[in-house]
Amino acid sequence: MTAGEDDALLLSGIQHFAFCRRQWALIHIEQKWEENLRTVEGGLLHKNAHEGPMSERRGDLLVARGLPVFSGRLKIVGKCDVVEFWRDPEGVTLFGHKERYRPVPVEYKRGEPKEDLSDSLQLCAQAVCLEEMLACEIAKGFLYYGQTRRRMEVLFDSQLREELGRMVAEMRELYRRRHTPKVKTGRFCQACSLRAQCMPKLCRMQPVSQYIADSLKGGWP
């Protein structure tokens, strides 16, 4: 990491955090990780996205793979799977190129589009990083899903950007406190690779401190 990045959060954690606060803390605070079929498939998809030259030209399109990005405002750091730079007279200048280009981030995911915003928020974070680095505005990006083999357009509107800001602030506070929260369990726990280490059933149990506090309020039997 460069100066200013030593206290940055990993951009990839945004998707974890949106999926489950506890999963994010187990991975990014407690440094726990387990593989399952979903994580292996996801890793292979990202590997395929990064294969080939780091950059290539296809007519009016420049393709950059595994591009490192950083946001000083949000203090997040990571990599973009793919950034497409489309030739556009209203775009940005790139080192070594005379033409101007419009950047479009593309994130590769296994499975199919989700009902929540976890993937969209991660992609929006990539756009925010690129905007800071290139001094530009990025209106949209794409999520490519391995199961459907289709792209889904994501608009980086004010609502999505505001949610990203709130989420990163919450992540930073939990990380500062080194706190792993309990969460409401659900069917989504079945898909989590950290289920054995998380022990979600324990999240349903009342903490001893709360039991004692409740007992004091009501009087000891």
Pairing of the two strands 61-71 and 76-93: antiparallel
- Residue 194: predicted pLDDT: 66
Closest by CA to 87, choosing from 63, 54, 123, is 63
Lowest mean pLDDT among 39-43, 56-60, 132-136, 139-143: 39-43
Matching residue, tokens 């498939």? 41
Average pLDDT over residues 141-166: 96
Residue 201 contacts by C-beta under 8 Å, 6 or more apart in sequence? 185
Indicate the pTM of the whole model.
0.77
The H or E element containing residue 154 is strand 150-155
Closest by CA to 27, choosing from 38, 40, 12, is 12
Closest by CA to 119, choosing from 133, 104, 134, 108, is 108
Q: pLDDT digits over 200-210, tens only? A: 555 554 444 44
Question: Hey, what's the torsion of the CAs at 196, 199, 200, 204, to 10 degrees?
Answer: 170
- Residue 142: predicted pLDDT: 98
- Residue 209: predicted pLDDT: 46
Rounded CA-CA distance 102/11 in Å is 22
Q: pLDDT digits over 66-94, tens only? A: 999 999 999 999 999 999 999 999 999 99
50-56, long-range: CB within 8 Å, 24+ apart, which pairs? 50/81
Question: Domains, the chain, ranges and CATH?
Answer: 9-183 (3.90.320.10)
Given a cut of 60, whether residue 176 has pLDDT beyond it is yes
Residue 195 and residue 33 in contact, taking contact as beta carbons nearer than 8 Å: no
